[in-house]
Amino acid sequence: MMNNIRYAAILLFSFVLASCTKEKSFETGEANPVYLGNDCRISAIASLDTATGFGIASHTTFFNPAQVATGTFIFDSTSNTALFNAGFTYRGDTMLVGDGRYFVRNATTGRVTKFIGPQDPEDPQSDTLEVLFSYNPEGNLIKKDYFIKGVSVPVFRSTYTYTAGNLTQSKFEIVLPGFESKLSEADLEYNTAQTVRNFLYVLPDGSLTAPYIMALNLGTPSKNVLTKMTTRYYDNNVLDETLTTTYRNYKFSRDGYVLELIADGDYQEGTGILFGKTKFSYSCK
């Protein structure tokens, strides 16, 4: 069951830039090459080999002129295959993402409040998973409760702690009475001297949302630059594995959007393709 919920289906893919409403180039060689604008969001993430600069991975989300996401695409150039491809349709407050999966959004804020879909994304006949998203008054995502069809109480829970506007700790636990157990916890560190605009939601346990992350409103993101993430995994409450990733060599647009970074150390599946030399492309109104 844990493998189903923590699935990423994302390892390393090829460099493909997104088609978007207004694409901003960052290949000028300048430290801060461009102004992007006041209403921009990430539309493509490209992972490259740090040493050679060759493209390894891409995750592209497509937006219409109103910046409504219409689909997402993940490509593996090492095998020339698409690993994930989904088109989005909308019915009122519901965003349907295919294969019986959908997100429900708050009609006023646009934030995701619920996910419903098969527990195993590769098996549509598996039990239904329902995830409820909760936010604090500042708009930060603070909790996700995971329900399995036929069980009236949450089986799993993610909790998130913030310090000075940044996500600094997350926990993922079994909370089903009689089976309580810690599965993972993570600590995140930041450069509080550098703010960032409209950056990714970096969730250590974000495998469920990683394929759709650029299309989702998960509340107010962390306000500063992430520098380190340490995630610990447990088996029967005993530490089993520790993953540590550092984030460095940030490059910014002139108006504070991240254009590039390098993620070193361990790959963390909850962060999608945010690994190695990573570049970002934006869709702006």
Q: What is the mean pLDDT of each run of 10 residues along the chain (285 residues)?
A: 33 28 44 79 91 86 94 86 93 95 96 94 85 97 96 97 98 97 98 96 95 97 97 96 98 94 94 92 91
What are 45-69's pLDDT values in tens digits?
999 888 888 888 899 999 998 899 9
The per-residue pLDDT for 234 is 98
Distance of alpha carbon 231 from alpha carbon 118, whole angstroms: 26
The residues, any chain, with a CB within 8 Å of residue 80's CB and separated by 6 or more, are none
One-letter identity of residue 8: A
Burial category of 1 from C-beta neighbours within 10 Å (exposed 0-12, middle 13-18, buried 19 and up): middle
Distance of alpha carbon 282 from alpha carbon 39, whole angstroms: 10
What are 142-156's pLDDT values in tens digits?
999 999 988 999 999
Cβ 88 vs Cβ 211: under 8 Å: no
Burial category of 112 from C-beta neighbours within 10 Å (exposed 0-12, middle 13-18, buried 19 and up): buried
Q: pTM value?
A: 0.87
